[in-house]
Chain A
Amino acid sequence: MTVLSIEDLRLELPGASRPVLAGVDLEVRPGQTVALVGESGSGKSLTSRSVLGLLPPGARARGAVRVAGEDVLTMTPARLRELRSRQVSMVFQDPRAAINPMLRIGAFLTESLRANLGESKTGARGRAVEMLAAVGLTDRALRQYPHQLSGGMLQRVMIAAALLADPALLLADEPTTALDVSTQTEIVALLADLRERFGTGLLFVTHDLGLAAAIADHVYVMYAGRIVEHGTAETVFAAPRHPYTIALLEATPSLAQPDGRLRAIPGRPPDLRTELTGCAFVPRCTRATGECHTTVPVGQVACHHAGGTDA
């Protein structure tokens, strides 16, 4: 049984010439950490938000996003609210923007519990104190306002809020991008630790390959609305086969070879006004041939010229 199973998810936005998501398949098992990696605009955030049924206005979605077997895309608003309050929660990129600055931390933490699970004030508060302790904060934070906490502390609050209802799946959308480097490490370690303790499935969205390698069991690489390669973290990072994954890894600074020159990927990802006929990576790819211009590649490594042996 999977906690999350996305099947051929296609998403069209008004004003775009091609689908923003063009058939995304992805799976998260209980307790598993899955990293979704890609450049800005590749559709990774949209994919993770679709799991909560948070689609942009006017978006048309096809395919299925199943949480514990049930399709999120066909849920009623009431069922969707239940899903959001019990089964799936999300940690956002910038905690200072994500937490209402006018409310005390205590009110922010407990409001979903009280509104949806009918928790009493003291019950919800007790649970909040418990979760604050789990993320390394004291109950003093309950009476404080967001502006009185640092960014790292606020992200801990966000994580505590996300885990309050003991969800089966936690989505983390670039949860460390807005934080400084030492805080990033703390937050990643905390997420890994909590996932272990609570057995929560974790979908970690990031553009940081190093981070993905450090935390994930399984990695999905996304480009222009498609998954171009996926596999276990070891396989993908040790023996990448899609030209895009290879180029991404070569463009990542490494401590092991500090002298090696970084190789930026030439060109830019295609924007949404561009219609695509073949592989989206063609203009930036060194291996592209005629076939790549006309036929969309599919498979675990979506490339006509994938290196290595096919699995």
Chain B
Amino acid sequence: MIGFLARRLLELAGTLAVASFLVFGAVYLAPGRPETFLLGGRGASPQLLAAIRSQYHLDDPFLVQYGRWLGDVLTGRFGESVQYRSSVLALVGSRLPTTATLIGMSLVLVLVFGIGLGWLGAVRGGVADSGVLVGTSLALGTPSFVAGVVMQSYLAIKLHWFPDQGSGTGFADLVYHLVLPSIALSLYWIGMLARVTRTAMLDVLGQEHVMVARSRGVPEAQVLRRHVFRNALGPIVTTAGLIVTGLVISTVLVEAVFTLNGVGAFLEKSVTVKDFPVVQAIALLIVAVFVLVNLVVDLLYPFIDPRVALGAREGGA
């Protein structure tokens, strides 16, 4: 267990190192120059441009720039936003609660409805199952920003049931403001998790030990819980891990639609204006979430299936 953890943590560090290089490289290669934005499109003297470029070390060779940035990041310094001229950590940190709450609410919706609908389809069959299949196809075919725009225009702007934008003030108000965004964000993933749950449970339902449990007089509800759902957990948990990372990515679009002041919208805005310290910090944060979620799923696996021993599997983030 300790050895496994140590190995996984080393892998985590390796993945982050590679990711940091790619993130930095991508921003470096992207078109557009940050100083142009800084000057707001006004013409500037070559001296002023040179001053700005030297302030951000933009004229150093690529590897030197990367080395300096990595050294800073490792010591917790993510630099200053070009756009706001203040600490990247503070800017991202202040937007984190909104995004974390949005992802948390969406994840609850995905787990409850994804597993619930998949269970219903697998166990009930017939009309219920057809309904689940049609519903999940619809959900899987609807991009989150389309669902967001549609709900915004009907439920918020037309019916005034929900606010159409902003994050509100205080936690309760934040949750209220995040109802529509979290539904928009979770629809697609509910469809995916319902499909996976349904297939996994159908697979287990056909196994002999389920019939044997029934033949022993185990009540049906317990058969479904302890023998069918329990045994189907492997693919469900793996997919749930993928979904957490998928939710993180999708916040970029949904936060933009609902003009939420979160990390996703901040990333989108920062990419547009080439605010590279912010883009790099958020990209790195997303990679870290990916790697951590994978680690958690891998650590959960032996608890789900006793036949899987930690360390016996080929690890890989």
> Are chains A and B native binding partners rather than an unrelated pairing?
yes
A residues touching B (Cβ–Cβ < 8 Å)?
A: 49, 52, 54, 80-86, 89-90, 92, 94, 97-104, 111-112, 115-116, 145, 147, 161
Beyond A84-B216, A99-B212, A103-B230, 12 additional contacts (C-beta under 8 Å) are: A81-B217, A83-B217, A97-B207, A100-B226, A100-B231, A101-B209, A102-B306, A111-B226, A112-B216, A112-B217, A112-B218, A161-B216
| A115 and B219 within 8 A (CB) | yes
| B215 adjacent to A84 (CB under 8 Å) | yes
B230 CB to closest chain A CB (Å) equals 6
B94 at the interface (CB under 8 A from A): no
Cα distance A147–B312 in the bound complex, in angstroms: 15
CA distance A10 to B208 in the complex (A): 25
Inside 8 A of A100's CB, which chain B residues have their CB?
A: 209, 213, 226-227, 231
Nearest A-chain residue to B216, judged by Cβ:
A112
Distance in Å: Cβ of B229 to nearest Cβ of chain A: 11
Contact A145 B306 (CB under 8 A): yes
Are B212 and A92 in contact (CB-based, < 8 A)? Answer: yes
Q: Which residues of A contact B208 (CB under 8 A)?
A: 92, 94, 97-98
With both beta carbons as reference points, the residue of chain B lying nearest to A84 in the complex is identified as B217
Does the CB pair A115–B218 fall under 8 Å? yes
Find residues 197-250 in chain B having any chain A CB closer than 8 Å to their own CB. 207-209, 211-219, 222, 226-227, 230-231
Q: Is the CB of B307 within 8 A of A98?
A: no
Q: Within 8 Å CB of B209, what residues of A?
A: 97-101
Q: Which residues of B contact A (CB under 8 A)?
A: 207-209, 211-219, 222, 226-227, 230-231, 304-307
B306 near A147 (CB under 8 angstroms)?
A: yes
Do residues B226 and A54 form an inter-chain contact, with CB atoms below 8 A?
A: no
Q: How far is the CA of A89 from the CA of B212 in the complex (A)?
A: 10
Chain A min CB distance to B236 (Å): 13
26 sample A-B contacts, Cβ–Cβ < 8 Å, listed by A number: A52-B215, A80-B217, A81-B217, A84-B214, A84-B217, A92-B208, A97-B207, A98-B212, A99-B212, A100-B209, A100-B226, A100-B227, A101-B231, A101-B305, A102-B230, A102-B306, A103-B227, A104-B306, A111-B213, A111-B216, A111-B222, A111-B226, A112-B216, A115-B217, A115-B222, A145-B307
- Residues of A near B216 (CB, < 8 A) are 84-85, 89, 111-112, 161
User: Does B307 lie within 8 Å of A90, measured CB to CB?
Assistant: no
4 smallest beta-carbon distances between A and B, as pairs: A85-B217, A84-B217, A97-B208, A145-B306
Distance of A52 Cα from B207 Cα, bound (Å): 18
Closest to B230 in A: A102
- Chain B residues in 8 Å Cβ range of A49: 215
CA distance A84 to B214 in the complex (A): 8
Nearest to B214 among chain A residues (CB) is A54
Asked if A103 and B226 sit within 8 Å, CB to CB, the answer is yes
Q: How far is the CB of B40 from chain A (nearest CB, A)?
A: 62
Q: How far is the CA of A111 from the CA of B221 in the complex (A)?
A: 13
Residues of A within 8 A of B211 (CB): 54
Residue from B212, B219, B226, B227 in contact with A81 in the complex, judged by beta carbons closer than 8 Å: B219
Which of B215, B218, B222 has the largest number of chain A CB atoms within 10 A? B215
What residues on A are CB-neighbors of B219 within 8 Å? 81, 115-116
Q: Is the CB of B217 within 8 A of A116?
A: yes
The answer, among B226, B227, B304, B307, for a CB contact under 8 Å with A147, is B307
Name the residue of chain B whose CB is nearest to the CB of A77. Answer: B220
Alpha-carbon distance between A145 and B262 when the two chains are bound, in angstroms: 47
Residues from chain B with Cβ under 8 Å of A90 in the complex: 212, 215
